[in-house]
Amino acid sequence: MFPTLLLVAGAMTFLGAALHRASGMGFALLVAPVFVVLFGPAEGVILVNYCGALSATMVLVAVRRDVDWAMAKRYLPWMVLGVGAGAVITALMDESWLSLVAGGVLLASILASIVLPRRPAAPPPSFAALAGAGSGFMNVTSGAGGPPIVLHGLGSGVHPRVVMATLQPIVILNCTLSIGFKLPILWDPAAALAALPFLLAAPLLCGGGQLVGRRLSRLLDGRRLRIALLALSMIGAMLVIYSALVVLLAG
Protein backbone atom coordinates (compact mmCIF):
# COMPACT_ATOMS: atom_id res chain seq x y z
CA MET A 1 0.00 0.00 0.00
CA PHE A 2 2.80 2.44 0.86
CA PRO A 3 4.33 2.43 -2.67
CA THR A 4 0.87 3.29 -4.05
CA LEU A 5 0.63 6.23 -1.66
CA LEU A 6 4.05 7.45 -2.77
CA LEU A 7 2.99 7.26 -6.42
CA VAL A 8 -0.09 9.35 -5.64
CA ALA A 9 2.08 11.79 -3.69
CA GLY A 10 4.49 12.02 -6.62
CA ALA A 11 1.66 12.79 -9.04
CA MET A 12 0.30 15.45 -6.66
CA THR A 13 3.76 16.99 -6.29
CA PHE A 14 4.14 17.31 -10.07
CA LEU A 15 0.60 18.69 -10.45
CA GLY A 16 0.98 21.01 -7.46
CA ALA A 17 4.23 22.48 -8.80
CA ALA A 18 2.66 23.02 -12.23
CA LEU A 19 -0.45 24.71 -10.83
CA HIS A 20 1.66 26.71 -8.36
CA ARG A 21 3.56 28.23 -11.26
CA ALA A 22 0.51 28.63 -13.51
CA SER A 23 -1.86 30.19 -10.98
CA GLY A 24 0.42 31.89 -8.45
CA MET A 25 -1.44 30.02 -5.70
CA GLY A 26 0.59 28.62 -2.82
CA PHE A 27 1.96 25.11 -3.33
CA ALA A 28 0.89 23.98 0.14
CA LEU A 29 -2.72 25.06 -0.31
CA LEU A 30 -2.87 22.83 -3.39
CA VAL A 31 -1.31 19.64 -2.02
CA ALA A 32 -1.48 19.78 1.80
CA PRO A 33 -5.05 18.39 2.14
CA VAL A 34 -4.13 15.36 0.03
CA PHE A 35 -0.83 14.77 1.85
CA VAL A 36 -2.50 15.02 5.27
CA VAL A 37 -5.10 12.44 4.24
CA LEU A 38 -2.47 10.12 2.71
CA PHE A 39 0.23 10.26 5.40
CA GLY A 40 -1.38 11.82 8.46
CA PRO A 41 -1.06 15.35 9.83
CA ALA A 42 2.51 15.04 11.11
CA GLU A 43 4.36 13.16 8.36
CA GLY A 44 2.14 14.62 5.64
CA VAL A 45 3.00 18.19 6.60
CA ILE A 46 6.73 17.35 6.69
CA LEU A 47 6.48 16.13 3.09
CA VAL A 48 4.54 19.28 2.15
CA ASN A 49 7.29 21.38 3.74
CA TYR A 50 9.97 19.49 1.82
CA CYS A 51 8.24 19.80 -1.55
CA GLY A 52 7.15 23.38 -0.82
CA ALA A 53 10.76 24.39 -0.19
CA LEU A 54 11.81 22.79 -3.49
CA SER A 55 9.05 24.50 -5.46
CA ALA A 56 9.73 27.89 -3.83
CA THR A 57 13.46 27.55 -4.61
CA MET A 58 12.68 27.06 -8.29
CA VAL A 59 10.31 30.04 -8.34
CA LEU A 60 12.91 32.14 -6.50
CA VAL A 61 15.40 31.62 -9.33
CA ALA A 62 12.95 33.33 -11.69
CA VAL A 63 11.88 36.21 -9.38
CA ARG A 64 15.08 36.82 -7.36
CA ARG A 65 15.51 40.39 -8.64
CA ASP A 66 12.17 41.43 -7.10
CA VAL A 67 12.93 40.09 -3.60
CA ASP A 68 12.95 42.67 -0.79
CA TRP A 69 15.46 41.08 1.58
CA ALA A 70 14.99 43.73 4.26
CA MET A 71 11.27 42.94 4.32
CA ALA A 72 11.99 39.21 4.64
CA LYS A 73 14.36 39.75 7.60
CA ARG A 74 11.63 41.52 9.60
CA TYR A 75 9.67 38.30 9.93
CA LEU A 76 12.52 35.91 10.71
CA PRO A 77 12.81 35.99 14.55
CA TRP A 78 9.04 35.83 15.00
CA MET A 79 8.75 33.04 12.47
CA VAL A 80 11.20 30.95 14.51
CA LEU A 81 9.01 31.42 17.59
CA GLY A 82 5.89 30.42 15.67
CA VAL A 83 7.54 27.32 14.27
CA GLY A 84 8.76 26.31 17.73
CA ALA A 85 5.30 26.71 19.27
CA GLY A 86 3.70 24.76 16.43
CA ALA A 87 6.26 21.95 16.72
CA VAL A 88 5.52 21.57 20.45
CA ILE A 89 1.79 21.36 19.73
CA THR A 90 2.46 18.79 16.99
CA ALA A 91 4.45 16.66 19.43
CA LEU A 92 1.86 16.81 22.23
CA MET A 93 -1.39 16.42 20.28
CA ASP A 94 -3.16 13.20 19.43
CA GLU A 95 -3.17 12.56 15.66
CA SER A 96 -6.93 13.11 15.28
CA TRP A 97 -6.76 16.47 17.07
CA LEU A 98 -3.72 17.37 15.01
CA SER A 99 -5.64 16.55 11.81
CA LEU A 100 -8.41 18.85 13.02
CA VAL A 101 -5.90 21.65 13.66
CA ALA A 102 -4.23 21.11 10.27
CA GLY A 103 -7.56 21.11 8.44
CA GLY A 104 -8.73 24.21 10.31
CA VAL A 105 -5.53 26.11 9.57
CA LEU A 106 -5.70 25.11 5.90
CA LEU A 107 -9.33 26.20 5.66
CA ALA A 108 -8.50 29.54 7.33
CA SER A 109 -5.61 30.03 4.89
CA ILE A 110 -7.83 29.32 1.89
CA LEU A 111 -10.56 31.65 3.13
CA ALA A 112 -7.95 34.36 3.71
CA SER A 113 -6.73 33.90 0.14
CA ILE A 114 -10.29 34.25 -1.16
CA VAL A 115 -11.33 37.34 0.78
CA LEU A 116 -7.92 39.02 0.79
CA PRO A 117 -8.43 42.46 -0.82
CA ARG A 118 -5.81 43.78 -3.15
CA ARG A 119 -5.02 46.64 -0.79
CA PRO A 120 -6.09 45.83 2.78
CA ALA A 121 -5.95 48.44 5.53
CA ALA A 122 -2.39 49.30 6.53
CA PRO A 123 -1.42 47.29 9.64
CA PRO A 124 0.58 48.76 12.55
CA PRO A 125 4.35 48.11 12.38
CA SER A 126 4.05 45.65 15.29
CA PHE A 127 1.92 43.39 13.10
CA ALA A 128 5.10 42.19 11.37
CA ALA A 129 5.75 40.14 14.52
CA LEU A 130 2.23 38.70 14.41
CA ALA A 131 2.55 37.92 10.69
CA GLY A 132 5.90 36.19 11.19
CA ALA A 133 4.76 34.14 14.19
CA GLY A 134 1.48 33.25 12.50
CA SER A 135 3.30 32.19 9.36
CA GLY A 136 5.65 29.93 11.31
CA PHE A 137 2.85 28.36 13.34
CA MET A 138 0.64 27.78 10.30
CA ASN A 139 3.51 26.34 8.29
CA VAL A 140 4.59 23.78 10.87
CA THR A 141 1.03 22.64 11.63
CA SER A 142 -0.47 22.64 8.12
CA GLY A 143 2.30 23.42 5.62
CA ALA A 144 0.61 26.68 4.55
CA GLY A 145 2.40 29.68 6.04
CA GLY A 146 2.08 32.21 3.22
CA PRO A 147 -1.21 34.08 3.89
CA PRO A 148 -0.07 36.10 6.96
CA ILE A 149 3.00 37.36 5.08
CA VAL A 150 0.99 38.23 1.97
CA LEU A 151 -1.66 40.03 4.03
CA HIS A 152 0.91 42.06 5.95
CA GLY A 153 3.01 42.84 2.89
CA LEU A 154 0.11 44.08 0.78
CA GLY A 155 -1.30 46.01 3.73
CA SER A 156 2.05 47.73 4.15
CA GLY A 157 1.80 49.06 0.59
CA VAL A 158 4.40 46.75 -0.95
CA HIS A 159 3.82 45.98 -4.64
CA PRO A 160 2.16 42.55 -5.12
CA ARG A 161 5.00 41.41 -7.39
CA VAL A 162 7.55 42.20 -4.67
CA VAL A 163 5.41 40.52 -1.99
CA MET A 164 5.14 37.30 -3.99
CA ALA A 165 8.86 37.32 -4.81
CA THR A 166 9.83 38.00 -1.18
CA LEU A 167 7.51 35.22 -0.05
CA GLN A 168 9.68 32.60 -1.78
CA PRO A 169 12.79 32.83 0.46
CA ILE A 170 10.46 33.11 3.45
CA VAL A 171 8.75 29.87 2.42
CA ILE A 172 12.11 28.15 1.93
CA LEU A 173 13.34 29.15 5.39
CA ASN A 174 9.98 28.49 7.02
CA CYS A 175 9.82 24.98 5.58
CA THR A 176 13.43 24.25 6.51
CA LEU A 177 12.84 25.38 10.10
CA SER A 178 9.62 23.38 10.30
CA ILE A 179 11.36 20.20 9.17
CA GLY A 180 14.29 20.86 11.50
CA PHE A 181 12.02 21.30 14.52
CA LYS A 182 9.70 18.36 13.80
CA LEU A 183 11.97 15.71 12.31
CA PRO A 184 13.86 14.86 15.54
CA ILE A 185 10.50 14.40 17.27
CA LEU A 186 8.87 12.31 14.55
CA TRP A 187 11.90 10.47 13.16
CA ASP A 188 11.04 6.93 12.09
CA PRO A 189 13.95 5.20 10.27
CA ALA A 190 11.69 2.64 8.58
CA ALA A 191 9.27 5.26 7.27
CA ALA A 192 12.16 7.47 6.14
CA LEU A 193 13.71 4.60 4.20
CA ALA A 194 10.37 3.74 2.58
CA ALA A 195 9.88 7.38 1.55
CA LEU A 196 13.42 7.72 0.15
CA PRO A 197 12.44 7.10 -3.52
CA PHE A 198 9.87 9.90 -3.30
CA LEU A 199 12.32 12.25 -1.58
CA LEU A 200 14.89 11.67 -4.31
CA ALA A 201 12.34 12.05 -7.12
CA ALA A 202 10.67 15.18 -5.68
CA PRO A 203 13.21 17.70 -7.13
CA LEU A 204 12.64 16.28 -10.63
CA LEU A 205 8.87 16.24 -10.12
CA CYS A 206 8.86 19.85 -8.93
CA GLY A 207 11.15 20.94 -11.75
CA GLY A 208 9.03 19.21 -14.39
CA GLY A 209 5.89 20.66 -12.88
CA GLN A 210 7.35 24.16 -12.93
CA LEU A 211 8.18 23.84 -16.64
CA VAL A 212 4.67 22.64 -17.45
CA GLY A 213 3.16 25.37 -15.25
CA ARG A 214 5.07 28.07 -17.12
CA ARG A 215 3.50 26.89 -20.37
CA LEU A 216 0.06 26.59 -18.79
CA SER A 217 0.25 30.17 -17.53
CA ARG A 218 0.32 31.33 -21.17
CA LEU A 219 -2.66 29.21 -22.17
CA LEU A 220 -5.08 29.43 -19.24
CA ASP A 221 -7.00 32.26 -17.61
CA GLY A 222 -5.06 32.68 -14.35
CA ARG A 223 -8.01 34.18 -12.44
CA ARG A 224 -10.44 31.39 -13.31
CA LEU A 225 -7.83 28.74 -12.63
CA ARG A 226 -7.11 30.24 -9.23
CA ILE A 227 -10.83 30.29 -8.32
CA ALA A 228 -11.23 26.64 -9.34
CA LEU A 229 -8.14 25.59 -7.38
CA LEU A 230 -9.23 27.48 -4.27
CA ALA A 231 -12.60 25.73 -4.42
CA LEU A 232 -10.95 22.30 -4.73
CA SER A 233 -8.50 23.10 -1.91
CA MET A 234 -11.38 24.20 0.32
CA ILE A 235 -13.16 20.90 -0.31
CA GLY A 236 -9.95 19.05 0.56
CA ALA A 237 -9.50 20.99 3.81
CA MET A 238 -13.12 20.33 4.80
CA LEU A 239 -12.62 16.62 4.14
CA VAL A 240 -9.61 16.64 6.47
CA ILE A 241 -11.70 18.32 9.16
CA TYR A 242 -14.62 15.93 8.58
CA SER A 243 -12.39 12.86 8.80
CA ALA A 244 -10.84 14.09 12.04
CA LEU A 245 -14.25 14.83 13.56
CA VAL A 246 -15.56 11.38 12.63
CA VAL A 247 -12.64 9.73 14.44
CA LEU A 248 -12.92 12.02 17.47
CA LEU A 249 -16.68 11.59 17.83
CA ALA A 250 -16.40 7.82 17.37
CA GLY A 251 -13.80 7.67 20.13
pTM of the model: 0.87
Looking at the structure of the chain, the number of domains it has is 1
Average pLDDT, the chain: 85
- For residue 97, give its domain range: 2-250
The pLDDT-based confidence of 153 (bands split at 50, 70, 90) is confident
Mean pLDDT of 185-209: 86
The Cα–Cα gap between 192 and 85 comes to 24
**Residue 146 · residue 167 · CB < 8 Å:** yes
pLDDT the model gives residue 1? 47
| Helices and strands (H and E) in the chain: how many | 10, 0
Mean pLDDT of 138-150: 86
Mean pLDDT of 213-223: 80
The Cα–Cα gap between 49 and 172 comes to 9
Show Cβ contacts of residue 48 under 8 Å, excluding neighbours closer than 6 positions. Answer: 27, 28, 31, 32, 35, 36, 143
The Cα–Cα gap between 197 and 229 comes to 28
| pLDDT tens-digit series, residues 66-122 | 999 999 999 999 999 999 998 888 888 888 888 888 888 888 888 877 766 555 556
Mean pLDDT of 27-39: 86
Residue 202 pLDDT greater than 90, yes or no: yes
| pLDDT tens-digit series, residues 45-60 | 899 999 999 989 988 9
Report CA-CA distances (Å) from 203 to 24, 47, 56.
Answer: 19, 12, 11
**Residue 144 · residue 105 · CB < 8 Å:** yes
